Amino acid sequence: MRKLLAIAGLALITISCQDDQGYSIKGTAEGIEDGKMVYISEIQNPNSRPERIDSTQIKDGKFELDLAEVENSNLSFLEIEGLDGNVIYISENQPISFEIYKDSLRTSQIKGGKENQTLVSYLDHLKETNKKVGEGRQEMQQAFQQRDSTQLRILQEAEAELMDNDKVFKKKMVKENPDSFVSVMILLDMMNMKSFPVNEIKELYEGLDESVKQNSIAKSLEQKLERESAVAIGSKAPNFTAPNPEGEELSLEDIRGKVTLIDFWAAWCKPCRVENPNIVKIYEKYHDKGLEIIGVSLDRPNQRDKWLQAIEDDKLPWYQVSNLEFWNEPVAQQYGIRSIPAAFILDEDGIIVARDLRGQNLDNKIAELLGEEE
């Protein structure tokens, strides 16, 4: 369910369009004492916390604030001094009014322009889907406890249909709102859910109007799409060069075989070490038939000895490289590695044909690529 609410904590809001132009806010704050501060923040950097851009005080249970006209819509936050949480909305050059609920900021109501209207349509969909998934999970638990396999299968199929409908809705909404910042937020959700091919998300992003690609969130998404599409299945694996245990520079192009496995691992990574014996067996089985492997270690600086000892202890006969920069390993960053073990399987042309296969699945794929299927 958490994936369905990837726009973390966004409030459910009611919207009405207004014809007046200009970015200003006003609101009622019944029950909140005079003098309490109202803070407005925006995401200036996608990798940082929101930054406060303006503030005002509550007087007679109301507040008003004129803000600078926005060049590009952005994700914004309204906070009240002394109250937990915030009200999330989209800045746009329309008057925006708030009805603040002291005991539940996140259920406060907003009236604004087109962007906020689009946002609430999306949030309503997420809320309804999330509700149905939650109800279905409870019914699944009951069916499991009652050992009702038929009902459990029906419920699982219903959830799968919900997820398919969710995907269709997201894609449809982006296509129908190419000039909306909300579409950028939806694409970010799709990226975070990891249930859409990266190249499909990239194509949807490229279909957006240039006007919504100008703020920092959109630019960050664009960079992420470029980086991840470069190592998506079907893409040519980016070449890299890194030092081997002898300190000599070794590149992917130097060692590529009929099938090549790029294995990201580290001496400190227990799951990697557990998987190593299986990879050794696969290497011994297929190396003479064209399999090459290059290990890329994410070991820590000043721990070269542990890297070399792990290679010796696990009896890894294939190529190894590392800059010994832990998670800042340049090759790992180039390939978008966020966790290990991670693996990329390349065909003889260097095209990525599979990722993160282990055990028998890895063996089967390599056999298929080498024409060794039984």
pLDDT in tens, 327-348: 999 999 999 898 999 999 999 9
Last-in-domain residue among 189, 207, 229: 229
Mean pLDDT of 342-358: 95
pLDDT at 325: 96
- 8-state DSSP, 121: H
Q: For residue 87, give the H/E element and its range.
A: strand 87-91
- Mean pLDDT across the chain, nearest whole number? 90
Last-in-domain residue among 229, 257, 282: 229
Tell me the CA distances in angstroms from 201 to 1, 41, 225, 262, 291, one per residue in order: 21, 28, 8, 25, 32
Domain annotation covers residue 295 = yes
d(CA 344, CA 351): 10
Same domain (yes/no): 80, 107: yes
pLDDT at 21: 60
Domain annotation covers residue 348 = yes
**199-220 b/e (C-beta count within 10 Å ≥ 16 → b):** eebbebbeebeeebbebbbbeb
Same domain (yes/no): 252, 285: yes
Same domain (yes/no): 210, 269: no
Mean pLDDT of 12-23: 46
Find residue 62's DSSP bridge partners: 28, 59
d(CA 36, CA 34): 6
Domain annotation covers residue 234 = no
d(CA 87, CA 104): 10
Find residue 297's DSSP bridge partners: 265
Please report which confidence band the pLDDT of residue 45 belongs to, taking 50, 70 and 90 as the band edges: confident
Contacts of 164 (CB under 8 A, 6+ apart): none
Domain annotation covers residue 4 = no
d(CA 120, CA 126): 10
Domain annotation covers residue 203 = yes
Domain annotation covers residue 45 = yes
- 8-state DSSP, 320: E
Same domain (yes/no): 322, 246: yes
Q: Residue 82: is its pLDDT beyond 70?
A: yes
Helix, strand, coil shares, percent, the chain, to 5:
45, 20, 35
Peptide bond just before 317 cis, omega within 30 deg: no
Q: What is the CATH number of the domain that holds 298?
A: 3.40.30.10
- Name the 3-class secondary structure at 44: coil
Same domain (yes/no): 343, 274: yes
pLDDT at 285: 96
Domain annotation covers residue 43 = yes
Same domain (yes/no): 96, 150: no
Q: Residue 316: is its pLDDT beyond 60?
A: yes
Range of the domain at 103: 18-112
CB-CB neighbours of 309 under 10 Å = 12
Chain segment 93-108, per-residue pLDDT in tens: 989 999 999 988 888 8
Chain segment 242-293, per-residue pLDDT in tens: 999 999 999 999 999 999 999 999 999 999 999 999 999 999 999 999 999 9
Q: For residue 260, give the H/E element and its range.
A: strand 259-265
Mean pLDDT of 196-208: 93
pLDDT at 374: 55
Q: Residue 158: is its pLDDT beyond 80?
A: yes
Last-in-domain residue among 84, 112, 140: 112
pLDDT at 47: 76
d(CA 11, CA 88): 6
Yes or no: say if 262 and 335 are a contact pair by the CB < 8 Å rule.
yes
Same domain (yes/no): 208, 263: no
Q: Residue 127: is its pLDDT beyond 50?
A: yes
Domain annotation covers residue 145 = yes
Same domain (yes/no): 218, 136: yes
Same domain (yes/no): 215, 176: yes
- What 245-249 contacts at long range (C-beta under 8 Å, 24+ apart), as own/partner pairs, is 245/307, 245/308, 245/311, 245/320
Q: What percent of the chain has pLDDT over 90?
A: 74
The residue whose two tokens read 């299927």 is 373
pLDDT at 116: 86
pLDDT at 4: 43
Same domain (yes/no): 191, 300: no
pLDDT at 373: 63
Same domain (yes/no): 198, 253: no
pLDDT at 181: 93
Same domain (yes/no): 86, 163: no
pLDDT at 5: 42
d(CA 268, CA 300): 9
Q: What percent of the chain has pLDDT over 70?
A: 94
Q: For residue 53, give the H/E element and its range.
A: strand 51-57
Total of domains in the chain: 3
Which pTM was predicted? 0.72
pLDDT at 11: 35
Query: Which is more confident, 22 or 132?
Result: 132
Q: Residue 6: is its pLDDT beyond 90?
A: no
